Structure 1
């Protein structure tokens, strides 16, 4: 998961596509463009066979070169620019090319990427984009580095919301505890740990998960006041996250009610 700050100061968490996924999508695209290129050559060969005496050899070579450029440069650039970073291979594998700030690609980005597609993927036998993708944290190839783009995954597995209740022995403490200072990054890590609990809400069985819970609890305690009463680590984490969720929900409900009251007042005013 990569954090991106857009031009509007909005923080986005966009998962970068791996080198394997991007390589598979590129192979699908190249197969489609190669099939289109061979199909045009077959049609051109059938046409030139009937008019072999009237065709100039230089004109034939120019037509074949133009077809090559059309299929492997113009077509990828056009498809990527019109679809805002998509192609057939990326559509199948759920990948989209975006700018480094998370915005959609433009024509200039597609042109830079399209011009470098042939020397990268074909002339280097795929070694250059593979090497660049392995050395880059976002799996960028050389065309992405020059264009300022990278591939992101648009399909994410659905996760069930965490609906763990506040433990009974900590319910009184959560009513007076200050949990609003918990950082969002720490809260996300705690939520992921709690989601690994089974549906019955039993304590963590794995030793590795227990150590992770103890470490997260140690990071969480400085952000929570007053200190919690004696309880297990998992109960402490569950109480804080459940109360934090409940307070966010109540805050959202109050905001919606204020908006509804304001809307009713505005519609009740006489129009002049």
Structure 2
């Protein structure tokens, strides 16, 4: 899993497409493209007797470029990031912010793909870049600012439920220091909890809960087991993210209603500041706080296992 930050500053987890599935999708597209090229070559060879040979060669080269570059660009633009191969494998190309792929990005990917796969390089740059990039990006994705995600996968596990006894405590948590990677580790522990042996549950639970408690505050109540502690933290984190996203949607809908609402005496109502000639600027984005400094409340406690 990987995280993308949307235009509304909302963190969304996505499933990055793995290299084998991307390779198989490319193979399907490659076969389709070569089939079209072979059919076009046969048609051009039959028509060469009626036209000039140089014109036939020029048309064939032009058609090959249109197939190798135009095929992925057209499909990914019209289907919002999916070619035939990606459609068969359940993959999709999206922007780095999670939005749909745009024509400019599809064009960059198509041009880079021509250099990566249809030249004597034989896909070596794409393979090397995909292996080195943490998100599996090839050169076209790096240039275009896109990422390939998988829309299919194993059944989604239900989100952790809030233990009723910890709801009031969880509402006071300071979660700004909890990273997405650490939250994903805690989620994996909760998912695999039933598959672990009792000693492994205890060992992993104490370790993960200790890492989480070093990043958040206040510490849990005495006697809380690691499983319940982590479930409460993740449930509260999810609740706040959903509330934040709901507030953004509500504000956007309210702004749209005000913007497109009925006019008063045939004119739009102006902002008081604008009517006075005051220049209104958008506030600078607030930088999220990093980890708490040493000696603060987030690092002084730590997770205390139940006695």
TM range (shorter): 0.7 to 0.9
The equivalent residue for 2:208 is 216
Larger radius of gyration: 1
Shift of 1:3: 1.6
1:144 to 133, 141, 144: 141
2:194 to 188, 195, 198: 198
The aligned length equals 238
Shift of 1:233: 3.9
Shift of 1:209: 4.1
Structure 1: gaps of 5 or more residues: 256-272
* Residues 83-232 of structure 1 mapped to structure 2, 5 A cutoff: 83-123=79-119, 124-161=121-158, 166=163, 174=166, 177-178=169-170, 180-181=172-173, 183=175, 185=180, 189-198=185-194, 204-205=196-197, 207-221=199-213, 223=216, 227-230=220-223, 232=225
Which digits, 9 at most, give the CA deviation of each residue in 1:31-82, with x for residues without a partner? 101101111212232344xxx2x42111111121122112112222111111
Find the aligned partners of 2:76 and 2:220 in 1 and give their Cα distance: 55
CA RMSD of aligned residues (A): 3.4
Contact 1:162 1:195 in 2 (8 A): no
Residues 181 and 226 of structure 1: CA distance in aligned 2, closer, same or farther (over 3 Å)? closer
Contact 1:228 1:236 in 2 (8 A): no
Residues 198 and 119 of structure 1: CA distance in aligned 2, closer, same or farther (over 3 Å)? same
* Residues 71-90 of structure 1 mapped to structure 2, 5 A cutoff: 71-90=67-86
Residues 8 and 116 of structure 1: CA distance in aligned 2, closer, same or farther (over 3 Å)? same
Find the aligned partners of 2:172 and 2:16 in 1 and give their Cα distance: 31
Residues 60 and 13 of structure 1: CA distance in aligned 2, closer, same or farther (over 3 Å)? same
The equivalent residue for 1:41 is 41
Structure 2: gaps of 5 or more residues: 247-307
The equivalent residue for 1:55 is 51
Q: Comparing 29-38 with 4-13, which one deviates more in the overlay?
A: 4-13
Find the aligned partners of 2:89 and 2:43 in 1 and give their Cα distance: 31
The equivalent residue for 1:266 is none
Find the aligned partners of 1:165 and 1:101 in 2 and give their Cα distance: 30
Shift of 1:225: 5.5
Which digits, 9 at most, give the CA deviation of each residue in 1:142-195, with x for residues without a partner? 1111111121111132234267795xxxx7x64764554163655654343222
Find the aligned partners of 1:175 and 1:11 in 2 and give their Cα distance: 23
Shift of 1:220: 4.9
Find the aligned partners of 1:75 and 1:243 in 2 and give their Cα distance: 44
Structure having the larger proportion of residues in helix: 1
Shift of 1:99: 1.4
TM-score (norm 2): 0.65
